[in-house]
Amino acid sequence: MQQGNSKKKIVIVGGGFAGAYCAQALEKKLSTSEAEVVLLDRNNYFVFSPLLIEAGIGDVEPRHAVVSIRSFLRRTIFHMAEVERVDPVSRQVFYRLSGGADQHVIEYDHLVIASGSIPRMPDVPGLIEHAHPLKSLIDAVALRDRIIQLLEWADAVEDPQERQRLLHLVVVGANYTGVEAAGEFLAFMRRVARKFKNVQITDCRATLFELSDRILPTLDERLANYAARELSKHGTTIRLKESLSAIESDHCRTSTGERVETETVIWCAGIAPPPLVAASGLPTGPRGYIDCEKDFRVTGFDNLWAIGDCALNPDKQDQPYPPTAQHAVRMGPHLAANLAAVLRGGATRPFRFTMLGSLAALGGHRGVARIFGLDFSGWTAWFLWRTVYLLKMPGWGRRLRVAVDWTLDLFCSRDDVQLGVHQIRARQGNSAENQSSAEEF
């Protein structure tokens, strides 16, 4: 599609880490006479996911853990819209404006798909109905509300076994999100529990299930062992080479058939491609992610590109880059440079990036970190975790707000009020597709 003379239309689907950074870089690299950029996202913000659990436990005000997409853009046209399908043959994107019924169509010269991922919800009976995913802002705040609800119930029951069942968190998946969820939500529960007369700190426990033979499988083994010891010391039981085979409202069953008493299962067992990929019939690898070349072109297309969690972006050895924000924020500007080169008749460059490090918070001001090959653990790693993510937060205004939240948290006791999100969630039911429900928050 050509507009007037040689001005091209670039459409980006998804304004998360990959898409928003891509749009921002395109504004710098291309003039208004070269391209018009349109960005579509179902929300007018993206979740700064490293702070999602902090928002859940109230260390950070939930609004401060999201970033306004418009704050990234000057010239880019933004529509808050649900994209239903893209047609790479007719070069069209089909979408509905948020809250609107009419379908709209936009044509493009180049299309960037950066629509992220959804939680992986395998076919486990009761999973959709009873488990809590941890992906959107509402997921995190609903979990906090639920923990307070559980403490209220536990405080009112006479039976100590029932109290322990209510206060038992089961977390499935022991990669970064699962480990942080077990550590931080349990630490939060124990801190708030001090305000409840009939609840002992030791009534509050967590069990972390992991299918592989160790937690944090991509982290150095020594650090992972440290994390396992710290979690165990503070009330989390780690069960390796096990998962869940069924979830009910008041208990779950392990893969060996054992009954585990719990009221709350937090599901952190991986991610899956967003439904848009299958709905659009795009070329995919075996697990359903968009198949791409090293310069981010979707295999078999000249003007279709995909980056971030939704794509299989191969590295030098043809292995897919891991789905992290660390990669997505670098993929966006790299793709912008490739698009600028293509529009000017130049050649694209393959993406190359080596991870700078990884960090995980374990709750109670402890953590593990590997940064530039150096290992840290305990309070130092937790402090580094906070410093790194504070500096990564886009915009000085947001950074200041988060820094103030953290400072106040050091001096104020933990809030034990519900925000009402748990009730909204209960009415809607839990589902991976429910991510857009974050709009209601």
Chain residues binding ligand FAD by CB under 6 A are 14-19, 40-43, 46, 49-50, 52, 82-83, 114-116, 134-135, 177, 274, 276, 308-309, 323-326, 328
Comparing CB distances to ligand FAD, the nearer of 81 and 199 is 81
Distance CA 129, CA 250 (A): 12
- In whole angstroms, how close is the CB of 217 to ligand FAD at the nearest point? 16
- In whole angstroms, how close is the CB of 310 to ligand FAD at the nearest point? 6
* Cβ atoms within 10 Å, residue 32: 10
Distance CA 14, CA 35 (A): 19
Check if the beta carbon of residue 412 is closer than 8 Å to that of residue 19: no
Give Cβ neighbours of residue 339 (< 8 Å, ≥ 6 apart): 10, 26, 29, 30, 35, 110, 112, 305
Extract the tokens encoding 154: 């536990």
- In whole angstroms, how close is the CB of 42 to ligand FAD at the nearest point? 4
Comparing CB distances to ligand FAD, the nearer of 168 and 386 is 386
Comparing CB distances to ligand FAD, the nearer of 43 and 430 is 43
Number of H helices, E strands in the chain: 12, 24
Comparing CB distances to ligand FAD, the nearer of 183 and 323 is 323
The gap from C-alpha 377 to its chain's centroid, in whole angstroms, comes to 24
Closest-approach residue to ligand FAD (CB): 16
Quickly list H helices, 194-259.
221-233
Distance CA 218, CA 216 (A): 6
Comparing CB distances to ligand FAD, the nearer of 7 and 96 is 96
Check if the beta carbon of residue 326 is closer than 8 Å to that of residue 388: no
93 phi/psi in degrees, rounded to 5:
-120, 130
Comparing CB distances to ligand FAD, the nearer of 41 and 145 is 41
- In whole angstroms, how close is the CB of 5 to ligand FAD at the nearest point? 31
- In whole angstroms, how close is the CB of 2 to ligand FAD at the nearest point? 26
- In whole angstroms, how close is the CB of 236 to ligand FAD at the nearest point? 17
Give Cβ neighbours of residue 386 (< 8 Å, ≥ 6 apart): 406
Comparing CB distances to ligand FAD, the nearer of 183 and 308 is 308
Q: Which of 155, 96, 112, 49 is CA-nearest to residue 416?
A: 155
| Secondary structure class of 299 (helix, strand, coil) | coil
- In whole angstroms, how close is the CB of 102 to ligand FAD at the nearest point? 16
